[in-house]
Structure 1
């Protein structure tokens, strides 16, 4: 089902979004997820900024682990809100 344009799409990373797009295109299904215009949000970057978890040895941010399931992603979004 194609999205109507009012929905906001939340993905863990753009890599997942690219894989999904390629898979749907290979099946002959038009790409339904609106990109650009602020409708697609990458939760990995949002979580990285929200957590602010810095590795004391390197001084670099530690990458968060993907939630894995939709209910865990929803929990993360609620915690961030």
Structure 2
């Protein structure tokens, strides 16, 4: 999991890459796909990217850590069935 500084650096880098590509004439879909690939490679999953002709925007909402809780008396494996 990335810390806040790494997330901010990744977002900044991806936006700079997108700006370079867009100013060089790349299409909006190509810019968004490249930014998505770069962010995933750097460990940032589920980034939201919006590219228009006049703006670039990128955000990230970390997924919460979930902990599976089992009802009392249950284990993490499926309950066993026994035949009599």
> Which has more radius of gyration?
2
Name the TM tier (shorter chain).
under 0.3
Higher relative contact order (CA closer than 8 Å, sequence separation 6+): 1
The structure where strand makes up a greater share of residues is 2
